[in-house]
Amino acid sequence: MQDNKKRIVIIGATSAIAEHCARLWVENTNVDLTLVARNAEKAERVATDLRVRSPQSVIRVLEANFIAPLAIQKLVDEIVAEGIVDTVLIAHGSLPDQDVCQQNLTECNEALTVNSISPVLFAEAFAGHMQKAKLGTLAIIGSVAGDRGRKSNYVYGAAKGLVTRYAQGLQHRLANTGVKVLLIKPGPTETPMTAHLKQQGGLAKVEDVAKVIVNAINQGKPVVYAPAKWALIMMVIRHLPQFIFNTLDI
């Protein structure tokens, strides 16, 4: 690693949003980029594309267990031991089928673990190191689904709601330390994860969501909706009286 390169770590680097954020980072400057994924082969394909885009950047791939606490801590400790990390983007997750989660507790447990517990464990592991260094940005992708539980996706929403509360608490803990914590709340985005929703329309372009995220990290924002229109939409949904909310098919 060269000292003049900004050091960035992406957890869940094969996600479409994460990949497009990485493209923006390597296009803007030479970086030292660590891609952490559950499948190293898939992550290497992302890395190969990024190396072509930015031959001067340092890009490495690490395969990780995303649900084992001790393995997560060991991985993060090893990453940080190589040098101070400037930015961490925690981007992994899955969009479960609500009906399946209601009928199968194993699937429900997996959805909750992947979308809430795992991101929180990664964030907590990095947070301690960043607090000691008194610098860095920790960005966590949540979802607008976490703003209010809805019958169409309340298991996923509950997981993202946990991420929201966690990020708020972490921001409070790290206030005035030099460490910035960013909670990202994307609306429905056109990615492989939402391919089954494409026919419904209204999906944001992943490139646009990535730009919002990278800009928010650069600006040191605490919370960002992507696209921005979702801040207003979710404000309305959060404040609907229960008797009105219960009549909606959402």
- Residue 77: CATH number of its domain: 3.40.50.720
C-alpha 175: how far from chain center? 21
Residue 157 inside a domain? The answer is yes
Residue 250 inside a domain? The answer is no
What's the pTM value of the predicted model, to 2 decimals? Answer: 0.94
Coil, strand or helix at 128:
helix
Sign of CA dihedral 206, 212, 215, 216: negative
Residue 175 inside a domain? The answer is yes
Question: What are the two backbone dihedrals, phi and then psi, of residue 32, each rounded to the nearest 5 degrees?
Answer: -105, 105
Residue 136 inside a domain? The answer is yes
- Which amino acid would we find at residue 152? S
* Rounded CA separation 178/190 (Å): 34
* Rounded CA separation 14/116 (Å): 18
* Length of the chain (residues): 250
Question: What are the two backbone dihedrals, phi and then psi, of residue 151, each rounded to the nearest 5 degrees?
Answer: -60, -25
Residue 151 inside a domain? The answer is yes
- Which amino acid would we find at residue 123? A
Residue 42 inside a domain? The answer is yes
Beta bridge partners of 89: 10, 139
* Average pLDDT per consecutive 10 residues, the chain (250 residues; last block may be shorter): 79 97 94 97 97 96 97 98 97 96 98 98 98 97 97 98 98 97 95 64 90 97 97 97 96
**Which is nearest to 192 in space by CA: 14, 12, 11, 9?**
14
Contact 72, 64 (CB under 8 A): yes
* Rounded CA separation 30/138 (Å): 20
Contact 39, 61 (CB under 8 A): no
Domain that holds residue 225: 6-245
* Number of independent structural domains in the chain: 1
pLDDT per residue as tens digits for the range 113-152? 999 999 999 999 999 999 999 999 999 999 999 999 999 9
**Which is nearest to 119 in space by CA: 80, 81, 72, 56?**
72
Q: Where are the beta strands (DSSP E) in the chain?
A: 6-11, 31-37, 58-63, 87-90, 136-141, 179-186, 189-190, 204-205, 223-226
pLDDT per residue as tens digits for the range 2-30? 457 899 999 999 999 999 999 999 998 89
